[in-house]
Structure 1
Amino acid sequence: MQHFINVLLNGITQGIVIAAFALALVLIFRSTRIVNFAQGSQAMFTTYIALTLMNNDFPYWVAFLGALAAGFIIGAVLERVVIRPLEGGMELNIVIATLGLYVAIQALAAILFGSDYKSFSSPVGVQGFQVGDLNLALTPTSIFVICTVGVVVVGLTLLFQKTQLGLTMRAAAFDGEVSRILGVRVSHLLTFGWALAGLVGSVAGILVATGSFIYPSYMESLIAFGFIAAVIGGLDSPIGAVVGGLILGIVNSLVSGYLAPGLVTIGAFVVLIAVLLLKPGGLFSSTQARRV
């Protein structure tokens, strides 16, 4: 019983981290209808910025906010400098550009920060709780991760459903020409969408690093699982990203805990295929939305 409980708790924690990254992907797609393959490299780079601040005696929370600010700025700059000139051409050009950014940012991080493993401390404990005779795979760091992602989910849901800015961003993404005719400054909204996604991606990068080690390619597995989770939930649904992340995290933990760690990737793709066969648009996305 203890093993099952720990496997489940570990899956929930993994799923929450996957969900955080999937949220960043959903933000880009929801506001620009673009899938950003460089999102993981952006998150990795801002995590290194946070670590640099911490190594220079800045508190964890100052470094955390510094990484979020860096993620916001990097997202805006990339949209203006790299993505904006490619708009109006083939959509494949933007996809290739984001893949190029993925490689370039990772290489830049290796040059600036080195390729060695570096410890990233946690602001809270990493020792698991004990309930009676049970040693739970649940730590204060896990609770911190869960609560942080919860705040992000609530904030994004309120932004897109309850604010004029969020509704305008969605309208501009679905039909930019009509939005321009109505006086909406679409270019500014697209930049803000990339910036906001960069900020959320930075949250994911820090959460997966907290209490662990980082190196230039430490986000690679999370990138793959984040894309799968976003597609499972529906690329235009923040709630779907969270549900998809939780499903994937629990499945991955069950496969690793009861079968073999080497089968985790296969298990993830089996879940993806099963969901797409039942609902091609994802669990929380309508077919109409996905065709746009």
Structure 2
Amino acid sequence: MGTFIQLVIDGLSTGSIYAALALAIVLVNQATGLINFAQGGMAVLSAYIAWQLTQFGIPVLLAIMLSIVVSFVLGAIVERFLIRKFEGGDPDTAVVVTIGLLTLITGVCAWIWSYNNKLFPSLFPLETVNIAGAVISVRSLGTIFVIVAIMLLLQLLFVGTKLGLALRAVAINPQSAAFSGMPVGRLLMVGWGLAAGLGAVAGALVAPQLTLTPGMMDAALVYALAAVIIGGLTSPIGVVVAAWMIGVLENLAAVYVPFIGHDLKIAVPFIMIFVVLIVRPQGLFGRKSVVRV
């Protein structure tokens, strides 16, 4: 029983990292209607900024908060001077632009900080607690708590605030939103800025568990995209639940399903995607798109 509990908690912790990136992807999509493949690279850049600040003697919590602010500004700048040139055009072109941006950011991080592994200080104590015979790290519990808080805040933003409703209106129909007097350009910048800030949180959560390298978020981005497909692009709660499902089922399958093991556990999210797309194409928690003709 202790092993099962430990696998579940560790899976929730790992899934929370995927969820942070998935929430950022959902936020950009809700604000602009685009899928940002550069989200992982922006998270890495934020983590490097936070790490560099800690090297100057700034406490890790303050460094992470400052990196979130810097990331918000950078995200807004990217939207204003790069992405905006492609918004409203062919969506495939915008997707290629975000992939190119991912490559550019990764290269810049490697050029400035090199590919050498760097140790990122943990935001949470490196202690453990005993829960029903399972040894659980405080860092895992802290990671889960952070993602739950962010998920609830995002859900509140989209459903219960004028800013969230305005972001959704701009994503659905920017022309109608502009005719209604909404500052579409500024709202798009805010959406990208918030997503970049979320990416900074994801980078700060994953860097201590791995080591800080330019490509550390590549695998996490794949899992985040899987969580977005499974949970649904329109539901922040849905993508978090989907990310947790991926993390937990991966761990359980690796230990309890002999023919999968640790080598094939990466197939678990893709099997889940296959099943969900057949049963519910809009995602487990997503809404169907209705198009009037």
TM range (shorter): over 0.9
Cα distance in 2 for residues equivalent to 1:65 and 1:269: 34
Question: 1:214 aligned to 2:212?
Answer: yes
Query: Which of 140, 143, 147 in structure 1 is aligned with 2:141?
Result: 143
Cα distance in 2 for residues equivalent to 1:124 and 1:244: 25
Question: 1:20 aligned to 2:20?
Answer: yes
> Which residue of structure 2 aligns with residue 231 of structure 1?
229
Residues 210-262 of structure 1, C-alpha deviations (whole Å, 9 max, x = no match):
34411010001100000000111101210111111111111111123334222
> Which residue of structure 2 aligns with residue 280 of structure 1?
281
- Once the two structures are superposed, the pairs formed by residues 43-58 of structure 1 within 5 Å of their partners are 43-58=43-58
> Which residue of structure 1 aligns with residue 201 of structure 2?
203
Unpaired runs of 5+ residues, structure 2, are none
> Which residue of structure 2 aligns with residue 249 of structure 1?
247
The answer to whether the Cα contact below 8 Å between 2:210 and 2:216 also exists between their aligned partners in 1 is no
> Which residue of structure 2 aligns with residue 267 of structure 1?
268
Q: Tell me the TM-score normalized by structure 1.
A: 0.95
Cα distance in 1 for residues equivalent to 2:89 and 2:27: 22
Cα distance in 2 for residues equivalent to 1:128 and 1:217: 29
Cα distance in 2 for residues equivalent to 1:216 and 1:254: 29
Q: More displaced, 46-55 or 84-93?
A: 84-93
The answer to whether the Cα contact below 8 Å between 1:54 and 1:63 also exists between their aligned partners in 2 is yes
Cα distance in 1 for residues equivalent to 2:248 and 2:290: 28
Cα distance in 2 for residues equivalent to 1:154 and 1:288: 24
- Displacement of 1:21 in angstroms is 1.1
Query: Which of 215, 237, 240 in structure 1 is aligned with 2:238?
Result: 240
Name the CA shift for 1:135/1:283 in 2 (closer, same or farther; >3 Å).
closer
Unpaired runs of 5+ residues, structure 1, are none
Higher helix share: 1
**Aligned residues: CA RMSD:** 1.6
Give the total of aligned pairs.
289
Cα distance in 2 for residues equivalent to 1:267 and 1:152: 26
Name the CA shift for 1:289/1:220 in 2 (closer, same or farther; >3 Å).
farther
Cα distance in 1 for residues equivalent to 2:62 and 2:291: 39
> Which residue of structure 2 aligns with residue 123 of structure 1?
123
Q: Tell me the TM-score normalized by structure 2.
A: 0.94
Amino acid at match of 1:31: A
Name the CA shift for 1:145/1:81 in 2 (closer, same or farther; >3 Å).
same
The answer to whether the Cα contact below 8 Å between 1:281 and 1:290 also exists between their aligned partners in 2 is no
> Which residue of structure 2 aligns with residue 152 of structure 1?
150
Cα distance in 2 for residues equivalent to 1:80 and 1:266: 38
The answer to whether the Cα contact below 8 Å between 2:37 and 2:95 also exists between their aligned partners in 1 is yes
- Displacement of 1:189 in angstroms is 0.7
- Displacement of 1:264 in angstroms is 1.9
Residues 106-130 of structure 1, C-alpha deviations (whole Å, 9 max, x = no match):
0100000110111111133223223
Cα distance in 2 for residues equivalent to 1:222 and 1:107: 18
- Once the two structures are superposed, the pairs formed by residues 144-183 of structure 1 within 5 Å of their partners are 144-183=142-181
Question: 1:191 aligned to 2:192?
Answer: no
- Partner of 1:130: helix, strand, or coil? strand
